[in-house]
Structure 1
Amino acid sequence: MSEPAAPEHRAIYLTGPTASGKSAVGVELARLLDAEILALDSMTLYRGMDVGTAKATTSERGGVPHHLIDVLDPWESASVAQYRGWAIEAIRDVESRGRRALFVGGTALYLKAMLRGLFEGPGADPVVRERLEAEAEAQGDAALHARLAMLDPATAARLHPNDRRRIVRALEVIELTGTAFSALQRQHERPASGVRVFALELPRPVLYDRINRRVSAMFDAGLVDEVRRLQSAPRPLSGVAAQGVGYSEVIAHLEGGPGLDRTIDLIQIRTRQFAKRQGTWFRGLAEVAPLAMEPGEPAEAVAKRIAARIEGGGEG
């Protein structure tokens, strides 16, 4: 099997729900493959957000180079498109040293963007857009939404009748391409071929127990102090950083909300819910090959199984 041409398709991906053991397996797999690790995680991008993101410590990284970690201050934010650009640049950097790029993390939107790219559609046409804006002003947003419903029912169904910006954009795309916006998106949804993507899976009771214990360990490691320090910084946390599971609940606690025990309970519940959503996401991506783990199976053993499938020429 020939290697895919695009850098992001030459990379190897290790994903799975939070607390499934990705970091430890990733380090062992990187050693076996002579790879460097690129974080596939929207929260470990932030400096100073270490405890609540379960960011791998220096010792846990085991001497394996890690990239795309600690690249933003907590008051900054980055789009999926920015992450994808950084990631492709990092892949090329790793490959320039004759090593493989191994993505490890559980941010599903990042994974999908790396595998399938980002749908942007044709560039804006100022003349068409200005005319549609004028029609919306004269006829009302509902009239344009009704027109969109006739031309592209799928897109109209997911847009609020008052969402003028997106309605105008959808009509603009139809006029410029002769194709419904939803049809173009479906074309973009085609799975990538030849990419090695593995998702760790544990029995749900085992995963949930690991989540509960991890959250408790975060509080023992100083999560409340970490959030207090972030809150006292000269600039406030970005919306993305402040809404991270664990951070938003501790912020509420520090601002007079639920007590500490209830806060721990809430984070455990919401992390379990998040893990369930992650599993649904990964199962919905055709590129992903599930990898069942036995409870207590050593990370090295899991990594050896993955490496054998990669070196054996399987697609994941």
Structure 2
Amino acid sequence: MSFEAVENPPRPIIILGPTAGGKSELAVKLCESLPEHGEVISADSMQIYKHMDAGTAKPSHQQRARAPHQMIDVAEPTERFTVSDWLAQTEYHLKRLASENKRAIIVGGTNLYLNALLQGMFDGPGEDIDYRQSLKDIHEYELHQLLKQVDPEASTRIFPNDRKRIVRALEVFHLTRKPISEWQKQWDAEKQKPYRYNPVLIGLDWPVEPINARINLRVKAMFYPEKVESELAREVCLNGENLVDETRRLEQTNQLGKQAREALGYKQVLDHLAGHLTLSESFERTKILTRRFAKQQRTWLRRYRDVYWVPANDKTDEERLHNALAILNTQ
């Protein structure tokens, strides 16, 4: 579908920051506050899945009632959903919103999605189905150790249980005998031109200890909402199920595909349901891995150019909104 071009449409806004850092609420408040209004577009690789609510930090029902949200609940968890799929659908919404003279407010969570949007796709060599098949019975830990041997740099950037990205990195090395990190450096060197869509990048800046405390609280709300005395429990468990009950139901009804099963939190609960971890071990493991993921996010965030950083610690939602609006008023 084609859309009528509008002269000087509002620039898209991209909100960056670590997980559990308040990005969703800032995005909604911006939609409510900006004169041209707008819609929120999720850039999270797990929020795209229907039925997976307790472990994906989707915006609450109340937040979605306050502002339109896109790229949430767009695929079944049995389906394979690629970066290309997300980019194609997101670019449709960007063009639509531009034609309506509305703001697109993109809430960043998945670095691959944001890089594809801002810099275009890195395709690399094709797939080798036989090679992928040869890896299917190897545990993620062993695959990550293999990656450390052939591409130490990539192994520091790819989450140890991110099977999809580990396999792709190994596959690229298998096909080209050249590490994927080297391919990406060449790609990055070619992509130092201005970002696509001319966005305004606003980042929520969190010190390590406060964001880790928020992460721990969120994971506790996922596993034990009855033990969390705040609105957070109701916001995390959107449909009244904790992460364990939700994962058990999805597993029993065969609604978790290969990609969805690897999601942080769900994988650890599946290990518990299979008898490999106690519930307490699953809970603690999810906290550790989520904090580690946030550390990786901080590494990613430093690579983005021209980000306007907003202090987030010890600030209210209203104060963060005020600072973000002040930035936008200068653009």
Q: Distance in 2 between matches of 1:183 and 1:215?
A: 35
Give the equivalent residue in structure 1 for 2:136: none
Question: How far does residue 284 in structure 1 lie from its aligned partner after superposition?
Answer: 1.5
- Mapped to 2, the partners of 1:69 and 1:40 lie a distance apart of 9
Q: Deviations over 1:25-82 (max 9, x none)?
A: 1111121221210001110000000110011122133420000100000011211122
How many residue pairs get matched? 264
Please report the TM-score for the alignment, with normalisation by the length of structure 1: 0.75
The structure 2 residue matched to 1:272, chosen from 291, 296, 311, is 291
Pick closer, same or farther for the CA change 1:186–1:209 going to 2, 3 Å: closer
Instruction: Show CA shifts across 1:184-219 (max 9, x none).
Output: 524433152543111212121111111101001011
Q: How big is the shift at 1:255?
A: 0.4
User: Which residue identity does 1:227 align to in structure 2?
Assistant: T
1:225 CA drift (Å): 0.7
Conserved? CA contact 1:32–1:304, under 8 Å:
no
What's 2:274 paired with?
Answer: 255
Q: Per-residue deviation at 1:268?
A: 0.5
- Quote the residue 2:176 is aligned against: 166
Segments of 5+ residues of structure 1 without an aligned counterpart are 125-154, 171-179
Measured in 2, the distance between the counterparts of 1:243 and 1:98 equals 38
Give the superposed CA RMSD.
Answer: 3.0
Q: Partner of 1:61: helix, strand, or coil?
A: helix
Of 282, 290, 305, the match for 1:286? 305
Match of 2:247 among 212, 215, 227: 227
After superposition, give the CA deviation of every residue in 1:154-191 in whole Å (9 maximum; x if it has no partner): x9x999899563359x9xxxxxxxxx977852443315
- Secondary structure (helix, strand or coil) at the match of 2:253 reads coil
Look up the equivalent residue of 2:249 and give its one-letter code: R
Give the secondary structure class of the aligned counterpart of 1:59. Answer: helix
> What runs of 5+ residues in structure 2 fail to find an aligned partner?
1-6, 127-150, 155-168, 226-236
Amino acid paired to 2:191: E
Pick aligned residue for 1:37 from 40, 43, 52? 40
What letter is aligned with 1:69? I
What is the rounded CA distance, in whole Å, between the counterparts of 1:182 and 1:15 in structure 2?
A: 21
Partner of 1:242: 261
Residue 69 of structure 2 aligns with which residue?
66
Task: Show the 5 A alignment for 1:1-316.
Answer: 10-33=11-34, 34-120=37-123, 163=173, 165-166=175-176, 185-193=187-195, 194-219=198-223, 220=225, 221=237, 222-235=242-255, 237-295=256-314, 297-313=315-331
Separation (CA, whole Å) in 1 of partners of 2:266 and 2:260: 8
User: What is the letter of the counterpart of residue 89 of structure 1?
Assistant: Y
Q: Assess, with a 3 A threshold, how the Cα gap between structure 1 residues 167 and 269 changes in structure 2: closer, same or farther.
A: closer
- 1:97-153 Cα distance to aligned partner (Å, 9 max, x none): 3211110131111111111111347x99xxxxxxxxxxxxxxxxxxxxxxxxxxxxx
Is the contact made by 1:11 and 1:103 (CA closer than 8 Å) also made in structure 2? yes
Change (3 A) 1:75 1:182: closer
